[in-house]
């Protein structure tokens, strides 16, 4: 396989697939990173196998607040003290925090070792684990330091998603809605009918696979986000602003909820700038309010939202960069709105939240 390709495996028998993938590596050079949460809930599934007992396990604190240079330093130290080399392999067992942090540790130690991601949340399976973005938060800024480093393989073990609570499933599902909007109306409408309470069903697993395929295809075409990968930012310019505001105001929301609400505003902009169908906007807004609830904004919050959007790291120069659509599956990159259109977007959003 080439440098920029990843094997995506759907694994029911996780230990067998891990053993198979590890065959290419010296047993003394096999490492696994997990957090305090996945050490309890997911690691035992792997460690059922006697043949995996030799793996050197690194545990870190769970939570995005620990995706930092201190945790990274601990991982580098562990590698040094345990004789890791450029030929080592690191398995990252966890959500996006672990695949980002472990992916970056693997990208940088001795200028890069291989890694395999085993995402344990729906959000990380359909987003963070695929496409090779790695990094840490720094100086109060999210993902400020990082590298593109494609994992050798991503192992999707859907039984891990059964133990997720409803909010975390709903959060991951927002990225799937985004994939539906970016790809085709049929997939989107199947998503709108999907029951998230039954992740064990074939329909759910097929939808997860479809989403991963969409993300994989886009990130393989443009691994370093020079062009089409920007499509994956749909819903995120406004969504990140909601997420940051929610943390600033001590009413934190999960990432996917912020993205879902961001989709409402950005699809509104798409109707104004790109001719996106108004009926689809209304259908999506109604669905999102029903499934994700409401995110209230006051007049003073609007100024903060504008500030956050102006400081989005995707912008170039003064203008706020959006990915929009002219229809489901028809992507318009690098769209810029006038101040009045941004105001109209927030007015529409607030109207939806009151309905
Ligand atoms: N999360 C968007 C990307 O991987 O490009």
User: Under CATH, to which class is 7-163 assigned?
Assistant: alpha beta
Do 104 and 137 form a contact (C-beta atoms < 8 A)?
no
Q: Token pair 């995402």 is at which residue?
A: 119
CATH superfamily of 166-354: Dehydroquinate synthase-like - alpha domain (1.20.1090.10)
Query: Which residues in the chain come in under a pLDDT of 70?
Result: 1-3
In short, whether 210's Cβ falls inside 6 Å of ligand 1 is no
pLDDT reported for residue 69:
98
pLDDT reported for residue 2:
55
CA of 83 to the centre of ligand 1 (A): 32
CA of 232 to the centre of ligand 1 (A): 6
Q: Tell which residue, 176, 350, 325, 340, has the closest CA to residue 265.
A: 350
pLDDT reported for residue 3:
60
User: Tell me: the pLDDT tens digits for 140-150?
Assistant: 888 999 999 99
CA of 145 to the centre of ligand 1 (A): 15
pLDDT reported for residue 141:
85
Cα angle for residues 111, 113, 119 (degrees, 5° grid)? 125
In short, whether 130's Cβ falls inside 6 Å of ligand 1 is no
- Can you read off the two tokens belonging to residue 168? 């975390």
CA of 133 to the centre of ligand 1 (A): 7
Question: Rounded mean pLDDT of the chain?
Answer: 95
pLDDT reported for residue 314:
78
Q: What ligand 1 atom has the least distance to the C-alpha of 130?
A: 4
Q: What ligand 1 atom has the least distance to the C-alpha of 127?
A: 1
Distance CA 61, CA 137 (A): 14
In short, whether 232's Cβ falls inside 6 Å of ligand 1 is yes
pLDDT reported for residue 319:
87
Distance CA 188, CA 198 (A): 18
CA of 81 to the centre of ligand 1 (A): 33
CA of 218 to the centre of ligand 1 (A): 9
DSSP 309: H
pLDDT reported for residue 355:
80
CA of 26 to the centre of ligand 1 (A): 32
CA of 97 to the centre of ligand 1 (A): 14
Q: Tell which residue, 259, 234, 232, has the closest CA to residue 244.
A: 259
Question: 3-class SS at 246?
Answer: helix
Q: Tell which residue, 115, 195, 117, has the closest CA to residue 157.
A: 117
Distance CA 301, CA 305 (A): 6
- Mutation choice for ligand 1 from 176, 233, 243, 258, CB with most ligand atoms inside 8 A: 233
In short, whether 66's Cβ falls inside 6 Å of ligand 1 is no
* Atom 2 of ligand 1: nearest residue by CA position: 232
- Can you read off the two tokens belonging to residue 68? 């930092």
Q: Tell which residue, 264, 269, 270, 271, has the closest CA to residue 285.
A: 264
- Mutation choice for ligand 1 from 97, 229, 240, CB with most ligand atoms inside 8 A: 229
Rg of the chain in Å (alpha carbons): 20
DSSP 27: G
Distance CA 314, CA 185 (A): 27
- Mutation choice for ligand 1 from 127, 130, 150, CB with most ligand atoms inside 8 A: 127
For the chain, what are the domain ranges? 7-163, 166-354
User: Tell me: the pLDDT tens digits for 12-60?
Assistant: 899 999 999 999 999 999 999 999 999 999 999 999 999 999 999 999 9
Which residues in the chain belong to E strands, given as ranges? 7-10, 30-35, 56-60, 89-94, 114-119, 133-138, 141-148, 153-156, 322-327, 330-335
pLDDT reported for residue 342:
95
Distance CA 43, CA 200 (A): 20
User: Tell me: the pLDDT tens digits for 164-177?
Assistant: 999 999 999 999 99
């Amino acid at each position: 396989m080439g440098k920029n390709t990843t094997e995506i495996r759907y694994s029911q028998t996780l230990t067998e697939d891990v053993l198979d993938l590890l065959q290419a590596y010296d047993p003394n050079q096999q490492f696994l990173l997990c957090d305090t949460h996945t050490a309890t809930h997911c690691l035992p599934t792997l460690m059922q196998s006697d043949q995996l007992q030799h793996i050197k396990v690194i545990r870190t604190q769970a939570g995005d607040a620990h995706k930092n240079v201190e945790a990274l330093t601990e991982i580098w130290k562990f590698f040094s003290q345990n004789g890791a080399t450029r030929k080592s392999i690191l398995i990252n067992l966890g959500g996006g925090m672990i695949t980002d942090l472990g992916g970056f540790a693997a990208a940088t130690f001795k200028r890069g070792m291989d890694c395999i991601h085993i995402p344990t949340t729906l959000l990380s399976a359909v987003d963070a684990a695929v496409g090779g973005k790695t990094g840490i938060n720094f100086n109060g800024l999210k993902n400020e330091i990082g590298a593109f480093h494609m994992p050798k393989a991503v192992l999707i073990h859907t039984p891990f998603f059964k133990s997720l609570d409803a909010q975390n499933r709903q959060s991951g599902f927002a990225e799937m809605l985004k994939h539906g909007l970016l790809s085709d109306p049929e997939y989107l409408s199947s998503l709108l009918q999907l029951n998230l309470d039954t992740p064990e069903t074939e329909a759910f697993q097929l939808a997860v696979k479809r989403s991963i395929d969409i993300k994989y295809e886009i990130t393989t075409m443009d691994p370093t986000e020079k062009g089409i990968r920007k499509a994956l930012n749909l819903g995120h310019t406004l969504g990140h602003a909601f997420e940051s505001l929610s943390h600033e105001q001590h009413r934190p929301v999960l990432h996917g909820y912020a993205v879902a609400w961001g989709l409402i505003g950005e699809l509104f902009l798409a109707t104004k700038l790109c001719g996106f169908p108004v009926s689809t906007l209304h259908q999506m807004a109604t669905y999102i309010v029903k499934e994700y609830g409401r995110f209230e904004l006051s007049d003073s919050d609007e100024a903060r939202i504008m500030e956050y959007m102006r400081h989005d790291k995707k912008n170039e120069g003064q203008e706020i960069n959006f990915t929009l659509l002219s229809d489901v599956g028809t992507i318009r990159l690098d769209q810029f709105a006038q101040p009045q259109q941004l105001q109209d977007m927030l007015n529409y959003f607030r109207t939806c939240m009151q309905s």
